[in-house]
Amino acid sequence: MRANATTKDLVKEISSLKAQLKSLSASMEAEAANGVGGALSQIETKSKEAIDEVIQSAQAFIDEYADDAKAAAKALMKNSAKLRADATETLVENVKERPLASLAAIVGVGFLAGYLCRRS
């Protein structure tokens, strides 16, 4: 009888262990699903934050160099206007100082241009 009782106890224990394993397995599956969902949510949140930071950094970089480019363009325009004014003034002074030489140069350039255009 004792062997029969021990076998029944073993079968009972095994059944109890099977039920506990099923419960543990279901619990682990639920935790894994929740953990994966939570991890994906955290990854999504961190990705959005990282993208926002990169966009802000890029915008700051563009703003910084756009201001520098504007300043450089403004300085270039100012310098070119000054050079144009200086060149005009120098040309006018040279024509006033040497009117005949200027007239001869203009006639020479016109003759050369006419000769080159006629050859084509």
Digits of tens for pLDDT over the chain (120 positions)?
455 667 777 788 888 888 888 888 888 777 777 776 777 777 778 888 888 888 888 888 888 788 788 888 899 999 999 999 998 898 888 888 888 888 888 888 888 888 888 875
Say whether pTM exceeds 0.85: no
Distance between CA atoms of 55 and 49, rounded to whole angstroms? 10
Residue 2's pLDDT is: 58
Residue 78's pLDDT is: 92
Residue 4's pLDDT is: 66
Q: What angle do CA 51, 55, 59 make, to 5 degrees?
A: 170
What is the radius of gyration, based on Cα positions, of the chain? Answer: 46
Residue 61's pLDDT is: 81
How crowded is residue 101: how many other Cβ atoms within 10 Å of its Cβ? 11
